[in-house]
Amino acid sequence: MKDNILGKSVVASLIDYFMIFILFLIISSVYLLFSNVLKFKIDHIEIIIIAILWFTFLVIPEFKFGKTLGKKIIGIKLISTENNKLLFRQVLIRRVFDIIDIFALGLVSIIMLSNNNQRFGDKFAKVFVVDKNFEFNAI
């Protein structure tokens, strides 16, 4: 299970968040263009856009397919330690912890990974990131 999953996870996250950033820039630019032309304003639009993109490109794909676009490109997937199928709450917990794992702790989070390459969010959600060919019954 340790087939450089940490490095692959970091690259997959970079791909995912870069994609969200680019889409945010595009959507924000379109909003600014139309809001200036049509003279309307939505308060806190940036937070709304980020939340929709985060949910659409991270939470939903991990729940439905066990992987985001970044994970698919890199060749890894998410599995539950409790069930054969990921539960929505597991994915949501894992992704809410992105704020702590990635942005607040950064390197500290990476250093404090468990023996199974689980970050804090993975531990609380009871999930593992594994190679795409990994079979659940091999745990």
Contact 125, 90 (CB under 8 A): yes
What pLDDT shows up at residue 6?
78
What pLDDT shows up at residue 79?
92
Q: Tell me how crowded residue 60 is: count the other CB atoms within 10 A of its CB.
A: 14
d(CA 40, CA 38): 6
3-state class of 86 per DSSP? Answer: coil
**CA nearest 66: which of 80, 52, 83, 51?**
80
**CA nearest 23: which of 65, 51, 60, 62?**
51
What pLDDT shows up at residue 48?
92
User: How confident is the prediction along the chain (139 residues), in pLDDT tens digits per residue?
Assistant: 456 887 888 899 899 999 999 999 999 999 888 887 777 777 888 899 999 999 999 999 999 999 999 999 999 999 998 877 899 999 999 999 887 777 666 655 655 566 666 777 888 899 988 999 887 664 4
pTM: 0.82
Give every CB contact of residue 133 below 8 A, 6+ residues apart in sequence.
none
φ, ψ (nearest 5 deg) of residue 130 = -135, 170
Contact 35, 41 (CB under 8 A): yes
